[in-house]
Amino acid sequence: MAPALTLPTPPPELVGLSFRGSGGRVTGADVCGRWLVLDLPALYTRPPVDALLSTLNRLVLGPTSWEEGGEGVSDPPGLTKWLTSIIASPLKWIGNDEVKETVWETASTRLAERCGRTAMPSQTRTFRIPLPFSQKSISISLREPTLTADNLGLKTWASSYLLSKRLPLLDLPTFPPTARALELGSGTGLVGLAAAAIFKIPVLLTDLPDIVPNLQHNADTNSAPGTAVSVSVMDWREGIDEVVSEGEKYDLVLAADPLYSPEHPGLLVGMVGKWLKKGRHGRVVVEMPLRDGYSSERGEFRSRMEKAGLGVRSEGVEAGVDDWGAGGEVNCWWSVWGRDGDCEVCSQAVRASEDDVDLD
């Protein structure tokens, strides 16, 4: 059995200092993101294992803080080359094979953290949703597993964060005691979990089978007194023509970033038509990024909603930050829809935004 490995305690003057915009605490950097006296141990000096692992652990790259604008981390010069050299080294001066594996694995993780969102390992990200007219906020912690190309629902997207913050600001009808909400394509569950905490009504989170296990984990982790959240598999392609009784329908339907395929507008509106309660008080709240190449899908969504007898009650464009690819600012369109035909006309501010960004 390998001997227990004890890491050294960092010097007091280094503890608690943070990289800019890292959203986490990293020892060994000052407030400007520059490394202090701590240098990267050169492998030719055969550094002690505890010093090597201590340095690697100080290089943890935490989730980017969207609130701080995602400024990123200032790494020590030559960090990528140093990490690669550790992975390639046989580490002959380390006599314990299990300890070698720990060093290689840790160096590989630090390198993966710097290779873009798709290469990052599983992480937990905490979002704070401020409440209006109050100093309080809702804290929601979500697990985001390693992202794969065909499971984009394992990541929290900018539109979900923006919609979660907008929910308490929306002019929605007063929900009756029996009201319920449904989130379509919940992903990591941020919007639905925020809705349950803000509106104090039961919320059903839904997504595809591969997404639901992580979604259930996040629902369980964020359970709180006064909230009722459940999770279920829902494939938009199945049961479109299924007859649903009025008692099974929902007063509020939520969706964030729901369009990334030509078939999605029709499927999404089909689900809205199936699950939204009839009457003047039912609402659909949607937010989606204004991505290049998806203007036709957004236009089709709007057209199909109007043909289904739903009209915009309020809408707008807002900017957020995402960490997909190189990261950066993303514009998102939010909209609230109702069944009656007396829909409010978009404000001049929204129309001015549309002059710059095509919603159709």
pLDDT in tens, 136-169: 888 999 998 876 555 666 888 899 999 999 999 9
Q: What's the CATH code, domain 123-346? A: 3.40.50.150
Helix, strand, coil tally for the chain in percent (to 5): 30, 20, 50
* Whole-number pLDDT of residue 172: 94
333's tokens: 């369109």
123-130 and 137-144: which strand pairing?
Answer: antiparallel
Measured in degrees and rounded to the nearest 5, phi and psi for residue 359 equal -85, -20
Q: Is the pLDDT of residue 7 over 70?
A: no
Distance of CA 24 to the CA centre of its chain: 16
The residues with which 206 forms a beta bridge, in sequence order, are: 232
pLDDT digits (tens, 9 = 90+) for 171-181: 999 988 899 99
CB within 8 A of 134, min separation 6: which ones?
A: none
* Whole-number pLDDT of residue 163: 96
> Can you give the pTM of this predicted structure?
0.68
Q: Do 21 and 55 form a contact (C-beta atoms < 8 A)?
A: no
To which residue do tokens 């290089």 refer?
Answer: 59
**Inter-axis angle of helices 295-307 and 264-275, nearest 10:** 30
Q: What is the mean pLDDT of the chain?
A: 79
Position 93: which residue type?
A: W
295's tokens: 């203007």
pLDDT digits (tens, 9 = 90+) for 226-270: 789 999 999 999 888 888 899 999 999 999 999 988 999 999 999
Opening angle at CA 326, ends 321 and 331, nearest 5? 30
Collapse the DSSP code of 336 into the 3-class scheme (helix H, G, I; strand E, B; otherwise coil) and give the result.
strand
Over its C-alpha atoms, the chain yields an Rg (Å, rounded) of 24
- Could you tell me the CA-to-CA distances from 312 to 177, 337, 341 in Å, in that order? 25, 5, 9
325's tokens: 């690819």
* Whole-number pLDDT of residue 242: 86
* Whole-number pLDDT of residue 13: 35
Domain boundaries defined on the chain:
35-62+75-115, 123-346
CB within 8 A of 243, min separation 6: which ones?
A: none
**Inter-axis angle of helices 97-112 and 49-58, nearest 10:** 20
